[in-house]
Amino acid sequence: MGPEGSVKCARCGRPARVRVQYAKLNLCDEHFIEYLRGRVLRLLARLARPRDIRRVLVAVSGGKDSVSLLDILVGIRELAGLKEVYGLHIDLGIGSYSEESLAVAKEACERLGVPCVALSLRDLLGLGVPELAKASRRPACSVCGMVKRYIINAVGLELGVDAVVLGHHMDDILVFALKDLFTGDLRDLSKLAPLSPGVDGLLVTRIRPLYEVYEQDLALYSALRGLRVVGGSCPFKHEDFLKAALRDLLRKLEEEAPGFEISLSRRIARDLLPRLSQGAQEGSAVPCKYCGMPSSNGVCSFCRLTEKVFGRPMGPIVREGIKAAVLRLRASSATNGPHPGAPASGAR
């Protein structure tokens, strides 16, 4: 909710339109945008500090979180020392939802001058997420998550980036983390760490610089920046009662004690997740015998699933398709511009 009409922006003295409750700040539109970019810049610096992260790949689904993240990263590119920023969109083949997502993601990258690798699961594999889920008899979201992780990592390796940047915001991360703690299933918790270190030639470092950023701040950011984002939800999206209850609990705690979620997220990231992610990574550092991607026992989950569906592991074929797409992107960048990921006019 915005502040009363007479309240002034803490940065410039003009009328404030945004109340940032957890920071006790009233800001005008322009300074809210600057404030949020500054927060992401600090979070990114905290994650990147011991590493040299200059070339990044941003997974752009077309939703407000990833589109805002891309816009923020391009806005802070020089301050963050980012030399190259690439976008990646995966068309999951989920009907009109995927069609709109592809159009939005492409538009976001084009507007910001970010080279975009757009891949269609159906082109790579012959099947989209709905058919793959049906054929493997697994829930759509579990298949989808695994396929996305595989493709994002493969594209990151092919481009040789220093890190993949993911747009998971704090509210979602906390709900997932608390649910895992409640159910005692800690195996997936490490996947939510703000920083998941990579393994040379096998696994690209993953960072989540929105792990202390509220969903509502991203919604406001995308609205104030006039960003086009996907309107509807994926037809497979489903929130179980536990997640809904935890989201509600977090909202109430935040209302009582503004900033509660930030402290909780920081504590989980600092004290719990690093230990879990270390263990998880050590167990997944063996190359798949078919495709060379990370696995825990010599066959990666993508090859295992596709072997079941197609009768043969499809990892090598998909990796070839990705290689060809990256070569095409490089060729078009060489023709159209001097430097992939260089700032474009209108990107600010």
Measured between alpha carbons, how far is 115 from 103 in angstroms, rounded to an integer?
Answer: 15
Residue 310 near which of ligand SF4, Zn ion, none (CB within 5-8 Å, type-dependent): none
Question: H or E element: which one contains 330?
Answer: helix 315-336
48 counts as binding Zn ion under rule CB under 5 A: no
- Three-state DSSP at 203 gives strand
- Which of 105, 116, 140, 288 is the binder for ligand SF4 (CB under 6 A)? 140
- Distance in Å, CB of 144 to ligand SF4, minimum: 3
189 counts as binding Zn ion under rule CB under 5 A: no
Q: Are 88 and 58 in contact (CB under 8 A)?
A: yes
234 counts as binding ligand SF4 under rule CB under 6 A: yes
Measured between alpha carbons, how far is 53 from 44 in angstroms, rounded to an integer?
Answer: 10
Give the residue with the Cβ less far from ligand SF4, 33 or 119: 119
Angle separating helix axes 129-136 and 140-159, nearest 10 degrees? 120
Task: Calculate the dihedral angle through the C-alpha atoms of 239, 241, 246, 248, rounding to the nearest 10 degrees.
Answer: 90
Residue 315 near which of Zn ion, ligand SF4, none (CB within 5-8 Å, type-dependent): Zn ion
- Distance in Å, CB of 304 to Zn ion, minimum: 8
Q: How many chain residues bind Zn ion (CB under 5 A)?
A: 12
Question: H or E element: which one contains 64?
Answer: helix 64-75
Which range binds ligand SF4 by CB under 6 A, 10-18, 230-238, 240-248, 319-327? 230-238
325 counts as binding ligand SF4 under rule CB under 6 A: no
* Residue environment code for 101-135, b if the CB has 16+ CB neighbours within 10 A, otherwise e: bbebbbebbebbbbbbbbbbbbebbebbbbbbbee
20 counts as binding Zn ion under rule CB under 5 A: no
12 counts as binding Zn ion under rule CB under 5 A: yes
- Which of 20, 132, 250, 300 is the binder for Zn ion (CB under 5 A)? 300
Tokens of 9: 């922006």
129 counts as binding ligand SF4 under rule CB under 6 A: yes
9 counts as binding Zn ion under rule CB under 5 A: yes
- Three-state DSSP at 58 gives strand
**DSSP code string of 247-275:** HHHHHHHHHHSTTHHHHHHHHIIIIIHHH
Q: Are 84 and 55 in contact (CB under 8 A)?
A: yes
- Which of 8, 34, 215, 236 is the binder for ligand SF4 (CB under 6 A)? 236
Give the residue with the Cβ less far from Zn ion, 156 or 315: 315
Tokens of 77: 């590119």
- Which of 17, 31, 77, 319 is the binder for Zn ion (CB under 5 A)? 31
Which range binds ligand SF4 by CB under 6 A, 67-75, 106-114, 141-149, 277-285? 141-149
Measured between alpha carbons, how far is 330 from 334 in angstroms, rounded to an integer?
Answer: 6
Binding-site ranges for ligand SF4 (CB under 6 A): 92, 129, 140-141, 144-145, 234, 236-237
Binding-site ranges for Zn ion (CB under 5 A): 9, 11-12, 28, 31, 288, 290-291, 293, 300, 303, 315
